[in-house]
Chain A
């Protein structure tokens, strides 16, 4: 993936929130839309981790990255990456993290998770770890000490671990958690609003892509019914479209990360960020 972007081809990098096949199913329509709207060929580039995507963005291997809020602030810290747009979920520019248990679980409050095991996505996941760790701490439970930490890589796998009885609870992004409510899961706790997922570009990237993104994802759906219909037909996660974003929106995430991982939260390697701290 090394090297400058090919002339005329823009690359959108996304970490694998899901299995790669599902990633293509969900995000290829976005890439196709961008190709159609911008007159430039767009290509989807998947990475197996948040950090790898950040690294590719900062190295210029990809032109635009679709990141979680925590990963974005780390990218900003690393190479001055800036948000161009953020996701709108069901009309809102924020989303939530959930802590969930099985519907038949006796656990009714966060405090009852003491001594229990909780499944998370990755330490870099805002909804599936950062927000949950803050909620647990607020409930007087320190991950890694008062509750067992288990990282399953992706949100879906964390939920499945609860359903299979491997752990007692899980932390997931709202849009994933809600999908499992009819399938036997119950929301135990909801985080405060979190700034939504941004589309990020590196300062070294192709400058006109920023305008192209705004025109394609903000202006076009506002002016063109066809564009707005195309976006509405995307996967539920993306169907709400995008809005213009600024870095200041992500200040709460910086504070949250520092609170959970300590002062090195934005610069430490992903592997150094462990349950119960690690970044400090």
Chain B
């Protein structure tokens, strides 16, 4: 189905109104013109016929009395009448008392009976008027009157007047109306072309802005400066877009706060492992210090133990540095990011939890490395959340598989565990904020929600496969070059 634009609709509607209005006006004008033109011809016909009847009757009388021969006079009257009324007059028929045609400009009528002749009974009455049609199809108004003086009857006169002028007048009116309609339509088209921009352009601009807004451009605004309804509509649209943008900004800020909260929770989770990681070398260092105090003169032992102490301190520094790095809030920045590197780093961060739960970690990384345009810290948080969830799903040990794959248009990271799995009835809710299956105080319920937000902000998604008792697999699918799609990344 053809979709008509506002401009076309306006053009069609306004011209349709003109056509209908002019059609009705034209019809009225035609009816009026037809009636008045017919009446004018009838009046003229009666006048001409009744006037012509007088000299014809006189001529017939004088000839009958032997005073003056007719000798072409009636023909002369007829031809003069035709010359003076040539526009209307088509025929003149004079009949005698027997209704035989004695004079006529139509010579074939002569000597023949004229059935429509008015007999003596028509004397004293008004002329008769009747519609006739010529063989050519031309409509004729025939006016008939008796030829009489007092009650003396000489014959009758019939005069045919063409009604073509009526038709001509009607056609002239129709043409006039058509011309006016065409001029109006032309004028309307010109006005439409000239002023439709003024009238419709703001609406079209508003429509364009709405389409931009519909496709996600939250900065789309209608630049319409009008004081009418369209202007009010545009202002309402702009206010709505302002509110949407503000809401979106608030949401982004809220999500950033949530992400930070979740990060701090993860830091808390990691803290026990960190303490353990710090405690072990500290114990070794203390032992070394005690031994060195006992054997202060053993230079060889002091050298060896100082190396051990240095090694333990470096280990502690590395562990603490990792945690600080993760917990720090940084500015979001998109740059080429190695997912393989992040998977390995996360594996290091959760070393304590892996050992504590007896989880074996298996790396299955893409040989050519999985590089995406992303925010380092966002990616790291996303992966850490998934890995912590996986470890927590395997309290009695299991295997954590960290896998990366590269495709032409996307990069995939899988975090798979052999844990308890996710019940089907809650699977649709696991990405909801604050949803958790753990006891109060054991989790924020934000981990997966924040992770999903990060993936989405990078133009990606997180897919879940899970079977209760067998384990779960979280698959992060990211576009190979997500730079353009990345809209908002929270750290």
Q: A164-B100, A164-B102 are in contact. Are A19 and B72 (CB under 8 A)?
A: yes
What are the interface flags for B36-75 relative to A under an 8 Å C-beta threshold, 1 for contact and 0 otherwise?
A: 0000000000000000000000010000000011111101
* Bound Cα distance A137, B71 (Å): 28
- From B4-12, B104-112, B184-192, B252-260, the one touching the partner chain is B104-112
Contact present for B110 and A164 (CB under 8 Å): yes
Contact present for A25 and B108 (CB under 8 Å): no
Query: Considering the complex, which residues of chain A in the window 1-60 have a beta carbon less than 8 Å from any beta carbon of chain B?
Result: 16-22, 25, 48
Q: Which of B68, B100, B108, B110 has the most A CB atoms < 10 Å from its CB?
A: B110
Whether, in the assembled complex, B76 has its beta carbon less than 8 Å from a beta carbon of chain A, the answer is yes
Contact present for A153 and B76 (CB under 8 Å): no
* Bound Cα distance A21, B79 (Å): 14
Point out the residues of chain A lying under 8 angstroms from B59, CB to CB. 19
Contact present for A16 and B72 (CB under 8 Å): no
Contact present for B70 and A157 (CB under 8 Å): yes
Decide if the interface of chain B is mainly helix, strand, loop or mixed: mixed
Q: A19-B76, A25-B76, A164-B102 are in contact. Are A156 and B71 (CB under 8 A)?
A: yes
* Bound Cα distance A165, B111 (Å): 6
Contact present for A16 and B69 (CB under 8 Å): yes
Point out the residues of chain A lying under 8 angstroms from B71, CB to CB. 16-19, 22, 153-154, 156-157
Contact present for A20 and B72 (CB under 8 Å): no
Point out the residues of chain A lying under 8 angstroms from B102, CB to CB. 160, 164
Whether, in the assembled complex, A140 has its beta carbon less than 8 Å from a beta carbon of chain B, the answer is no
Point out the residues of chain B lying under 8 angstroms from A160, CB to CB. 102-103, 110
Within the complex, the shortest CB–CB distance from B60 to chain A, in Å, comes to: 12
Interface residues on A, range: 10 to 19
Interface residues on B, range: 10 to 19
* Bound Cα distance A20, B68 (Å): 8
Q: Of A21, A22, A156, A183, which one neighbours B107 at CB under 8 angstroms?
A: A183
Within the complex, the shortest CB–CB distance from A264 to chain B, in Å, comes to: 27
Whether, in the assembled complex, A163 has its beta carbon less than 8 Å from a beta carbon of chain B, the answer is yes
* Bound Cα distance A218, B100 (Å): 48
Within the complex, the shortest CB–CB distance from A114 to chain B, in Å, comes to: 23
Point out the residues of chain B lying under 8 angstroms from A157, CB to CB. 69-72
Within the complex, the shortest CB–CB distance from B64 to chain A, in Å, comes to: 13
Q: Which of A17, A18, A20, A25 has the most B CB atoms < 10 Å from its CB?
A: A18
Contact present for B69 and A21 (CB under 8 Å): no
Point out the residues of chain B lying under 8 angstroms from A16, CB to CB. 68-69, 71
* Bound Cα distance A16, B102 (Å): 22
Contact present for B107 and A163 (CB under 8 Å): yes
Within the complex, the shortest CB–CB distance from A13 to chain B, in Å, comes to: 17
Contact present for A163 and B72 (CB under 8 Å): no
Query: Considering the complex, which residues of chain A in the window 144-185 have a beta carbon less than 8 Å from any beta carbon of chain B?
Result: 153-154, 156-157, 160, 163-165, 183-184
Look across to chain A and name the residue whose beta carbon is closest to the beta carbon of B100: A164
Contact present for B69 and A154 (CB under 8 Å): yes
Q: A156-B75, A164-B100, A164-B102 are in contact. Are A19 and B70 (CB under 8 A)?
A: yes
Q: Of B73, B100, B108, B111, which one neighbours A22 at CB under 8 angstroms?
A: B73
Point out the residues of chain B lying under 8 angstroms from A164, CB to CB. 100, 102, 110-111
Q: Which of B59, B71, B107 has the most A CB atoms < 10 Å from its CB?
A: B71
Contact present for A22 and B72 (CB under 8 Å): yes
Within the complex, the shortest CB–CB distance from B468 to chain A, in Å, comes to: 119
Q: Which of B59, B69, B70 has the most A CB atoms < 10 Å from its CB?
A: B69
Query: Considering the complex, which residues of chain B in the window 108-129 have a beta carbon less than 8 Å from any beta carbon of chain A?
Result: 108, 110-111
Contact present for A153 and B69 (CB under 8 Å): yes
* Bound Cα distance A157, B68 (Å): 12
Contact present for A21 and B110 (CB under 8 Å): no
Contact present for A19 and B111 (CB under 8 Å): no
Point out the residues of chain B lying under 8 angstroms from A22, CB to CB. 71-73, 76
Contact present for A154 and B100 (CB under 8 Å): no
Look across to chain A and name the residue whose beta carbon is closest to the beta carbon of B108: A184
* Bound Cα distance A17, B69 (Å): 10
* Bound Cα distance A17, B72 (Å): 10
* Bound Cα distance A164, B74 (Å): 15
Point out the residues of chain A lying under 8 angstroms from B73, CB to CB. 18-19, 21-22
Point out the residues of chain B lying under 8 angstroms from A48, CB to CB. 68
Residues of A within 8 A of B (CB): 16-22, 25, 48, 153-154, 156-157, 160, 163-165, 183-184
Q: A154-B71, A156-B72 are in contact. List 15 more A-B contacts (CB 8 A).
A: A16-B68, A16-B69, A17-B71, A18-B72, A19-B59, A19-B68, A19-B71, A19-B72, A20-B68, A22-B72, A156-B71, A157-B72, A163-B107, A183-B107, A184-B107
- Which 4 pairs across A and B sit closest by C-beta, in order of nearness? A19-B73, A154-B71, A183-B107, A156-B72
